[in-house]
Amino acid sequence: MNKENHNRFKAADWYNSFQNIVVGGAGGIGSWLAPFLTRIGHTLYIYDDDTIDQTNMAGQFYNQSQIGIRKTDAVKLNCRALNGANLISTFGRYDKNGLTSPIMITCFDNMAGRKLMFEKWVTQKDRELFLDGRMLAETGMIFCVLPGQEDNYRAELFEDSEVADAPCSLKATSHCGALISVLLTNALNSYLGNKAMKADIRILPFRYDFELPFFTFNEIELTPLEPEPDELTTTA
């Protein structure tokens, strides 16, 4: 990695804290996220078992010549061409034997993949940060989960069958996927900056939503969870 490429941002508080990060998904979000993170200097372990088809040209960071090849192979090629670095290892479907890392990011387009990756992150005693990006054509959200917030995040998970299916012609756009990737990158930078400064100077929201048609960007505050019935106390 040529660190001269970093001269324009190497004074940032988050710089020089390069991480090994497991990323789930190389589609509408992950294909944009990978160049941002590798350009900073992070090493990625990306999981996706899909191949690129014509419909992916609407919202994913691929070109026409890459149709028919595996998304993970194309991501590796694109990052190497853009950043001049070979910082990506690629894998197929994420399963119970998938790799873990203290910082993990899910960009999957299904809840089952999110749940599996999250619960794998939870098993790590040295876990630090779990990031989740979700999108439709013109709306999106990110979650930034720290140790101690696991149950809050579980409350934001549901079954894939409960997801209202959007029309096929209104599911993805490049600018929305890229924007979510920018927010995920900034969330990672905020976490690493705070860690380097040993102070919570930068904002790291638990949940952040946006709706592009209305130009609204909102931080959703962490809501205290209701105690389970057996945790309730009574007084005489």
Give the start-to-end residue ranges of the domains of the chain.
3-231
* Per-residue model confidence as pLDDT tens digits over 120-178: 999 999 999 999 999 999 999 999 999 999 999 999 998 877 766 666 666 789 999 99
- pTM of this prediction? 0.92
Q: Domain spanning 3-231: which superfamily?
A: NAD(P)-binding Rossmann-like Domain (3.40.50.720)
Q: In the prediction, which pLDDT does 1 show?
A: 63
How distant is the alpha carbon of residue 130 from its chain centre? Answer: 8
Q: Using one digit for the tens of pLDDT, what is the confidence trace for 116-132?
A: 999 999 999 999 999 99
**DSSP reduced 3-state for 195:** helix
For residue 4, with 0-12 CB atoms within 10 Å meaning exposed, 13-18 middle and 19 or more buried, which class applies? Answer: exposed
* Contacts for 34 with CB less than 8 Å, ≥ 6 apart: 23, 26, 44, 46, 75, 78, 79, 88
Reported as a pLDDT band with limits 50, 70 and 90, residue 179 is very high
Structural contact between residues 106 and 47, judged by C-beta atoms closer than 8 angstroms: no
